[in-house]
Amino acid sequence: MNTIVRHRWSYLYIAPFCILTAVFVLYPIGASMVYAVFRWDGIGQLSNFVGLDNFREVLRDDIFWGSVRHSFVYTAVLVPVQLVLALVLALVLNDRGLRFATFYRAIFFLPAVMSPAIIGVIFQLLLSNFGQRIGQWAGTDIGLLSDPKTALGVVVVIGIWNTLGYNLVYFLAGLQTIPEELYEAARIDGANRFQLFRHITVPGLAGIGPIIVFLAVIGSLQVFDLVQVLTGGGPFFATSVVNTYIYQKAFGGASSSGVITPDVGLASAASLFYGLLLMVVAGLQAIVMARRARQRNEGGLR
Amino acid sequence: MNVVPQSSFTTSFSRRSLLGGGLAALAAAGLGGSLTACSSGSGQSSTGTVTLTHWDWWVSQAPWIEDEMQRFAGTGGGAQIKRTLNQFDQYSNLISLSQRSKTLPDTYMIPFQPNLQTQVSAGWLTPLNDYVDEAWLKSFPKYSFVEGNNMFDGKIYTTPLTGRGPIYQLYINNQVFRDAGLVDPAGAVRIPQTWDEVGQFASTITAKSNGSVYGLGMGNSGGSITNAWLNTLVLPAGTPGGFLGMDYRTGRYAFGEDRNYADVIGLLKEWWDQKLFDPASLSVTDEISRAHFAAGKFGMTVAGSYAIQPWVAEGFTDFSMTTLVGPTAERRGFFYFSPGGKSIGVSSDTEHPQEAAAWVKWWAGPEAGARLSQQYGIDLSVYPENNDPAKIESEPFGQYAALADLTRLQPDPVVRDPSAATVAGFSVTPSIGDIIVGSLTGQVKDTGAALTKLGDESDAQLDQAIADAQEAGSGVTRDTYVFSDWDVTQDYAYDIPEYPAL
């Protein structure tokens, strides 16, 4: 008790975080666990206990597994492409000799602060008016977002454009932590650009790099708004990702069926299951990161 | 399948600790603003003027609503109306949230979920019986107030506002038709009467423009417009279930059994494969598509009457319309409606039921109805005399009003047995709309099998919903859904009073 009193200001400072986390993270998780064992439309009272039926239904639903697959494909394509692009751009923009660097940074970050709803409308208009020619190059003549063979690819490309700015900023922050003296010393020793990159930049980013990858992977696996506004998961679930699946189950509303009856219990079950899946992915990433950090440290000690 | 909650798990655990807290996240997502709007608005000013809070989701109808609010404040009852416009797809949640926090607006448009029966049994609404009389009741057309629809246990909870009219129309861009030479010898635009003519005209438009203009177009990004196409084409073929699929003649979902479903989807697929549709049809929203139609990007589209007013407001009036285009010019089916009707009601949280009821009566009155159809051209009025095309100021909306007789009364299980209202709604995925899209894109290879599966699963879900309702005390059975004597070309003859006793 004395400890609490002695450190009361510390507790006071972290209280808002704890309260917000409890209300907006822990409570919804706990509530979802309860919802998941009821058949419930989200409006009336919880009365129809169904045990694990919602989980069974989710696991038997081909559309759910299709959505999982699309989420992982989205991530598997977006993350490496976006990170390479972000790193290249960050290297260019980190060049102190570059004029208007701040302006360029703002330009590249701009899509990240745009509303996904606006992005959805803009790209729908762009693709409906000018996308046909691009579509023909891509081997489709029914519209890039209308063709199940190209729709997910288009969403990935727009996703790369949309969120590139965040990773660019992360890499820039990482690059700016590398002492300039290291580059100067290496140049004096005759290192070329590639060697500077290979032996100074890459090790210099070894600390922040895995965190950027971790955030990009988890963020991409949770993609929602962009898909919802661009395609709503269509055509015929060709771009459905897990979060659009959960949203459509939870909130129902207008859809291709006219009106979908909300099924909060099923959505909660899908959400919990996918949450577990993401925890496994995050755990594996954490293990790999820890192992690499240990190897680095051991290497450093040697 | 979702079940309307019936009974026991109704402790404070479920109602307060779970819902109250779980909904905090929704409030954080911006829904709280509406609740605040509700809870803070209602009351009485220092000058004694009552201010009523009112919620609805109507966007394009806003000019009419705001006009009526002003008129009501001036002459109708003296109360000011503070309106909150809500997002349609969140409306049910918002009303539910406000009910839980005991801040329901004084009057609100009846949400689709939970159904009215559930709202009434949960005490959300104040009956209007104490504020209306028989003369008011009989000012409405017959069968406007029906037990199980807008009345429960002899108490009226809401009123019809809009009249029966075709839900969807096939719109024709006259200029595109003229450019393609689709005019009769007198120079009038030719209106397609059959499936074949729609295809032929679309083909002519696409060919004559060298592919720069398409015959057909839609905006199905939101997901539901394919259903509008289906209804416009399948109902006149004598398939009364439309995209909902329920054929009350058999009480079964007819997706797999009624050949017309497969035929219409095959027709749409044929038009799609012939590239008669705008290629963006599956990827743009309905709103964008309607703008493209007005701009002449394609010659024909299907939409509801809601499309008319925005087009007229933007200066686009050179269009024609028809509806119920079937395999032959003879219509073997129509748009179907149940008797009764819902619009707004008085909440049980109101402190001013007298004034709120006066607003409901004003809102649903014949004068307001006349302005709705004649002056604003927004929707047909429940009073047929208001819908005379000659009295309607907007020529395009007058065209729509002229189609009003293409509707029929359908049988309704809830009218037969009001306890059928406790049968919960359900959804089957892939839905009919999904199957149409999947067929167009080639993702659904066997449309017939997909339709059969949809019909079977819908029947199974309904059986389960009925069983759940029976368990909760309803007397509904599958037979409640069977009206084998129904002639789909005629109004269903109801064995109920034309006007209920107050």
pLDDT in tens, A72-91: 999 999 999 999 999 999 99
CA B164, CA B162: separation in Å to the nearest integer? 7
Report percent pLDDT > 90 for chain A: 57
Please indicate whether, in this complex, the C-beta atoms of A235 and B443 are within 8 angstroms of each other.
Answer: yes
Helices (H), B32-189: 32-41, 62-71, 91-100, 116-121, 134-138, 174-179
pLDDT tens sequence across B278-329: 988 988 888 889 999 999 999 999 999 889 988 998 999 999 999 999 999 9
CA-nearest residue to B288 within chain A is A125
Q: Which tokens go with A159?
A: 């996703």
- By C-alpha distance, the chain B residue nearest A148 is B441
- The rounded distance, in Å, linking the Cα atoms of A295 and A292 is 5
Higher pLDDT, B15 or B296: B296
Q: Mutate one of A24, A25, A140, A142 to test the B interface: name it (highest B CB count within 10 A).
A: A142
B14 has pLDDT over 70: no
Contact A39 B2 (CB under 8 A): yes
Cα–Cα distance measured from residue B492 to residue B495, given in angstroms and rounded to the nearest whole number: 10
**Is A261 within 8 Å of B220 when comparing Cβ atoms?**
no
User: With contact defined as beta carbons under 8 Å apart, do B315 and B77 qualify?
Assistant: no
CA angle in degrees (0–180, nearest 5) for A123-A126-A127:
85
CB B44 within 8 A of CB B334: no
Please give the Cα distance from A126 to A132 (Å, whole number).
Answer: 10
Beta strands in B226-275, from DSSP E residues, in sequence order = 246-247, 252-253
- And the tokens for A267? 């959505």
Inter-chain touch A262–B113, beta carbons under 8 Å? yes
- Which of B282, B293, B436, B445 should one mutate to test binding to chain A, selecting the residue with the greatest count of A CBs within 10 A? B282
- At A4, the amino acid letter reads I
Residue among A50, A121, A128 with most chain B CBs within 10 A, to mutate: A128
CA dist B476 and B479 (Å) reads 8
pLDDT tens-place string over residues A85-140: 999 999 999 887 888 888 988 899 989 888 888 888 888 888 877 766 777 777 77
Contacts of B430 in chain A (CB under 8 A): 63, 236-237
Asked whether residue B15 carries a pLDDT value surpassing 70, the answer given is: no
Name the minimum distance, in Å, from the CA of B113 to any CA of chain A: 8
pLDDT-derived band at A257 (thresholds 50, 70, 90) equals very low
The reported pLDDT for the residue numbered A290 is 85
Kindly tell me the burial class for residue A104, based on how many C-beta atoms sit within 10 Å of its own C-beta (0-12, 13-18, 19 or more): middle
* pLDDT at residue B499 in the model: 94
Q: What is the mean pLDDT of residues B339-351?
A: 95
Please give the pLDDT value at position B2.
33
Residue A123 to residue A171: CA distance in whole angstroms: 27
**Mean pLDDT across chain B, nearest whole number?**
88
Q: What confidence tens digit (pLDDT) does each residue in B463-493 have?
A: 999 998 999 899 999 999 999 999 999 999 9
Which of B82, B24, B19 lies closest to B49 in space, CA to CA? B82
Asked if B424's CB is within 8 angstroms of A41's CB, the reply is yes
Contacts of B1 in chain A (CB under 8 A): 39, 261
> What digits encode the pLDDT tens for the residues B374-388?
999 889 999 999 999
CA distance B151 to chain A (A): 21
| B407–chain A nearest CA distance, Å | 20
